[in-house]
Structure 1
Amino acid sequence: MKVRRRYWHRVAGALLLSGASMTPWGASCKELQAQVDGVDPQWLRVPPRPHLDTEGARLPTRAEALAAAEYVSAAQIADMAARPIPLSTGGALDAMAPNWVSAVYYVGAARLARVSERPDTLRFLTMIAEHYHYAVRGARSGVTMLNADDIAVGDLYEELYSRRRQDGVLMPLQQRLDWQVPHLARKEDTKALVWWWCDALFMAPPVLARMSAITGEPKYLLAADKEWRRTARRLWVPKDRLFLRDERFAGRSEANGRPIYWARGNGWVLGGLARWLEAMPADQQGRDYYLDLFRTLAGRIAELQRPSGLWSTSLLAPEAYPEPETSGSAFFVYGLAWGINHGLLDRATYLPHVLKGWAGLNRQVLPDGQLGAAQKTGDQPVHTAARDTGPYANGAYILAALEIADLSGPVQALPHAEPTKDSPEVIAATSPAPPAPKTVRGPVEMARRAAEMKATAALAYDPAMTGRPSTVEPLPPPSPAERAPRAIARFAPDRLDDLLWENDLVAHRIYGPALQAKEAPSGSGIDTWAKRVRWPFMDRQLKFPNYHMDRGEGLDYYDVGRSRGSGGLGIWYDDKLWTSRNFATYRIEETGGKVARFSATYKPWPVDVVRKVWESREFSLPLGSHFTRMRSTLQSDSKEPLVVGIGIGKKSNANGKGFVARDEASARMTYWEPESAEHGTLGIAIAVDPAMLVGFTEDAENYLVLVKVRPGQPFTYYMGSAWDRGGDVPDRAAWEKLVAGERFAF
């Protein structure tokens, strides 16, 4: 982004307003100055009107399209900057508000600011974000805290965070989304939807998807995906290939007998799909559903375009609404051009629709630079007037212009990368400084103020100087060599003597003597990690102090506690499980190839007061398998047989206790944990030699498989795991089928 120095200065003093049109509600210049103190005079100036193509006979050049975007954006800024900011912003239609009305403009303007040579736009957006302290509306109730409209402004905060990397910019929004996730990701369908109106699909899902892209935590995207599909099941009408605005319109019709399909409502969905797909990983499970839906909806929209290039506000009743309408049409032009640019729509088929629509929109750009003929805020088709405007319409026009500017370039890949961090110079130039207090007047006070600010900078504790990583820092991407699937085993003294092993499907660890000394409850249970990538990731994940956070490739959210975890063992005696402490020694036999092999020993532990037992165990995990093969040899100071309990830790939460299945014939036990709204579900399984099976039991902490062994005689068993967000085992049925079909060698 280029920044010209003439835009960097800030003028303190009276605002220079010209023309009665800048004060449409009759305020005097003096009154207006008091109302909008802190507004840069540049924001009140609209550049000369550029050439706006109203014929649609050719593809505009990139420069022409960007000039159109700059013009309409500057006109919207001038209109907003000339108005006072209301105390109550919910119903504000023209002001600098954090509501959806203005937020849609911010979405377009923020993307324009990425390519603009003028810092005014980003400076204006930053001023608005700082005025509202990067907060979102709706704190008064649970219903309003879930309101998608109030989340739309989050896109602006995410944009500013990506460009500045200032943690506080993201915190209020992330806190709200964290609160929303359990409701969006609820397991059961409910009568009421969170996103019960189709507009919501533009407002909230892209913000959640971007939060996942920024933080590396997929929970936001996954939760939004669940509610997105619920909304679509209720509002998408396959036979008409259109969305109802909400369920009230099912069965309702226009005077011509055709169903009511609101243009802007379907524009919200088409534009929302584009922004949603921009942040969704290319390998995201279920992504094809959205690609197909985008293509289907876009095809239907193209069929309904009118000869003027615009669309009727009621898509199937053009005769009832013959006048131009731009708020829906601008989103359609944006969506169709976006589909071409990203290779989802055939260029030869859809480019004529884009050009005709662009020309139709330009015929409605008013003399003051704003897009006219925009339907006002509402929930269904109504008639529009030529001079009707709205920040959301201007925002959609800017998005359309930016896509048209890109039509002369190559096809773009999905997803989009977040913007890179701006230079300190650009951040300074685009971050308005608050005016000095009115008491700071004259050279003496100005000098005192400067000394105060210098002392503040020198004496204040600065977290950035500590080198601590951000709580939302994503996992660094692996190098090309690190992306190769392989099975590894590693001793991790940097993580309190853990032994780690993983392949392309699963990841596990056991705990060593260093942790035993630090955390007395730790023991010989086996930890399971949630993993979604095909390459090893545990080492890089453990470099973060909080490795329990999903940073894009997986995480450790499983809590072993005092249980056996996923396949730890103990001696079952007198209806009680007697277990060892952490492993004592280890030896890695093979790592980095097609199989990971290592061994560990455990010091003697008491079985009541009747005997002592100690163990050596061999571990083996090949590529392509969910199962680790373990060969255990138990020694004892008594030659009497032992009953060994191999356990799976019990879990419970608001969704219950999970599902355990026991099969005596195959000597297998399968467990599907209760779902965690934040992290999903883990499946665990144990398989033992049927000839050694004694039975199944449980204690307070574990489900147990019991086998009879003799001291000094090795025995083999298998432990396996899967994560429903790992990409290959989506649910309990799939896990139980996989376990039942596995063939084990004992």
Structure 2
Amino acid sequence: MKTIKYLSAGLSICACTCLVNNMPTKAETSSPAVTVTTGNWNRQSVMDVARKVADWQIKDYPDNQYAKSEPRGWVPGALYMGMYDWAELSNDNTYYDWLRKIFNRQSWQVANRMYHADDVCIAQTYIDFYNKEKNENMLKPTIARADWVVNNPSNGSMDLDYSKGSTIERWTWCDALFMAPGVYTRLYTLTGNRKYMHFADGEFRATYNYLYDKDEHLFYRDSRYFDQREANGKKVFWGRGNGWVIGGLAEILKTLPASDTEYRPFYLSLFKEMSERLAGLQGKDGYWHASLLDPDSYPSPETSATGFVVYGLAYGINQGYLPADQYLPIVKKGWEALVAAVEADGKLGWVQPVGADPKKVTREMTELYGPGAFLMAACEIYKLADK
């Protein structure tokens, strides 16, 4: 990796206080019927529904507001990760070509904010592409950004305050644990340079120490929610927020060097702890809801949270981290729930819009990260199907 190390050295100088429960009507919260059947639990059916979801999203992508306004942002960034996984599983160049065309238009650049975790989410797929095609132009902007951040770490507060820009320079919201760490673990594995993992581990642990509730084994979305409570008096733990974390942990474990013994134990322990907690919070309908501890206030399905949790749990089973006899029934039910939310044309519904806490979700709602999570889950489910 001498070339990559040279690039790294050469480019390093470059440059709501209270929740409002919007109670949905009965019509808006009617869940798709979920019955665990063998019909959806075989590899061909997984391939078929994943292709349908991927193709619908590609067709709809040009009309998406975030695809048009922020093509390097985190919203499409999460889709790109799922689409890349699907391209690998399907071995269909159509999906690689679609991604490559988008990335070439962006000159393989990350988004503009130097420190912001959201603005490097896309780099995870850039690095995956580099590992496949060995084109250094795919990697140069990512290394430039990562080196600058690592060499000039922020000392901003961990208390999130959007009126103070310095508080979004750190990983002060739990979503960030999906957006950024996987960039640094990939660079660490690719280059062998420990500085990337040293930085990522320090930032992750700072977030963990501040936002992780050691009693509930869940992450607050950010510091603004420490004292807030749901209608039932429980703490506010956002479904997708914790989905981001379990999905991010899977990405960390997947992309760390297989031989690593320094960092892996902490992340694996946290992954197992959160997996056990999340498994117990699955709804009877198979979904993880917008509010993890007050699903009765948000009874509608929520497929982005469900997609990321199913992805994480299925990955854990496939790697032998989670016992199949305990977790496979949960994953099966979650997958059936996800499939039930796919319309005939491939649109994935019941996706909570961009936000930071539990909100009402309706069937027609979708967003790019929803299909991204679905495709990531599908690629792990494929390995489990027919078992």
TM-score interval for Structure 1 and Structure 2 normalised by the shorter chain: 0.7 to 0.9
Residue aligning to 1:174: 143
C-alpha displacement of 1:190: 7.1
Residue deviations 1:84-129 (CA, integer Å, cap 9, x gap): 8xxxxxx726778111111101001111111224211110000000
Quick one: which of 44, 47, 53 aligns to 1:72?
53
Q: Is the 8 A contact 2:158 2:207 kept in 1?
A: no
Q: Is the 8 A contact 1:80 1:96 kept in 2?
A: no
Residue aligning to 2:37: 57
Distance 1:346 1:390, change over 3 A: same
Distance 1:185 1:283 in 2: 27
Residue aligning to 1:324: 301
1:413-428 maps to which residues of 2 (within 5 A)?
none
Residue aligning to 1:274: 250
SS of the residue aligned with 1:233?
A: helix
Quick one: which of 94, 101, 126 aligns to 2:100?
126
Distance 2:70 2:158 in 1: 36
Distance 1:67 1:190, change over 3 A: closer
1:555-634 maps to which residues of 2 (within 5 A)?
none
Quick one: which of 99, 118, 121 aligns to 2:73?
99
C-alpha displacement of 1:260: 0.4
Distance 1:147 1:189, change over 3 A: closer
C-alpha displacement of 1:162: 1.2
Distance 1:54 1:256, change over 3 A: closer
C-alpha displacement of 1:183: 4.3
Unaligned residue ranges in structure 2 (runs of 5+)? 1-32, 160-166
Residue aligning to 2:194: 218
Residue aligning to 1:634: none
C-alpha displacement of 1:169: 1.1
1:149-228 maps to which residues of 2 (within 5 A)?
149-184=118-153, 192=167, 194-228=170-204
C-alpha displacement of 1:216: 2.3
C-alpha displacement of 1:215: 2.1
C-alpha displacement of 1:154: 0.4
Q: Is the 8 A contact 1:54 1:358 kept in 2?
A: no
Distance 1:95 1:391, change over 3 A: farther
Q: Which runs of 4+ in 1 moved over 3 A?
A: 93-96, 183-186, 188-193
Residue aligning to 1:596: none
- Residue type of the alignment partner of 1:111: D
Quick one: which of 377, 384, 387 aligns to 1:400?
377
1:111 correspondence with 2:85? yes
- Residue type of the alignment partner of 1:116: S
SS of the residue aligned with 2:292?
A: coil
C-alpha displacement of 1:136: 1.1
- Residue type of the alignment partner of 1:291: L
Q: Which segment is superposed worse, 337-346 or 59-68?
A: 59-68
Distance 1:77 1:200 in 2: 25
Distance 2:202 2:386 in 1: 35
Distance 2:263 2:180 in 1: 19
Distance 1:216 1:185, change over 3 A: farther
- Residue type of the alignment partner of 2:347: Q
- Residue type of the alignment partner of 2:123: G
1:263 correspondence with 2:239? yes
Distance 1:286 1:118 in 2: 35
- Residue type of the alignment partner of 1:159: D
Q: Is the 8 A contact 1:339 1:345 kept in 2?
A: yes
Residue deviations 1:211-234 (CA, integer Å, cap 9, x gap): 122222222122101100000000
Relative contact order (C-alpha < 8 Å, sep 6+): which is higher?
2
Residue deviations 1:435-492 (CA, integer Å, cap 9, x gap): xxxxxxxxxxxxxxxxxxxxxxxxxxxxxxxxxxxxxxxxxxxxxxxxxxxxxxxxxx
- Residue type of the alignment partner of 2:66: A
C-alpha displacement of 1:185: 8.8
Residue deviations 1:294-327 (CA, integer Å, cap 9, x gap): 0110111011111100012010011101111111
SS of the residue aligned with 1:145?
A: coil
Residue aligning to 2:260: 283
Residue aligning to 1:586: none
What's the TM-score, normalizing by structure 2? 0.85
Distance 1:119 1:298 in 2: 34
1:470-619 maps to which residues of 2 (within 5 A)?
none
Q: Is the 8 A contact 1:237 1:244 kept in 2?
A: yes
Q: Is the 8 A contact 2:158 2:171 kept in 1?
A: no
1:314 correspondence with 2:291? yes
Distance 1:315 1:232, change over 3 A: same
- Residue type of the alignment partner of 2:133: R
SS of the residue aligned with 2:137?
A: helix
- Residue type of the alignment partner of 2:124: D
Distance 2:85 2:373 in 1: 11
Distance 2:34 2:298 in 1: 22
Distance 1:190 1:130, change over 3 A: same
SS of the residue aligned with 2:139?
A: helix
Residue aligning to 1:298: 275
Distance 1:200 1:54, change over 3 A: same
Residue deviations 1:345-403 (CA, integer Å, cap 9, x gap): 11000001001111111111123312100000011111011010011000000011110
% identical aligned pairs: 37
- Residue type of the alignment partner of 2:127: E
Count of aligned pairs: 346
Residue deviations 1:388-420 (CA, integer Å, cap 9, x gap): 00110000000111101011599xxxxxxxxxx
Residue deviations 1:646-675 (CA, integer Å, cap 9, x gap): xxxxxxxxxxxxxxxxxxxxxxxxxxxxxx
Distance 1:304 1:98 in 2: 33
Q: Is the 8 A contact 1:94 1:391 kept in 2?
A: no
Q: Which structure's residues are more often helix, by fraction?
A: 2
Q: Is the 8 A contact 1:185 1:227 kept in 2?
A: no
Distance 1:189 1:199, change over 3 A: closer
Residue aligning to 1:377: 354
Distance 2:34 2:60 in 1: 24
Q: Is the 8 A contact 1:129 1:156 kept in 2?
A: no
SS of the residue aligned with 1:259?
A: coil
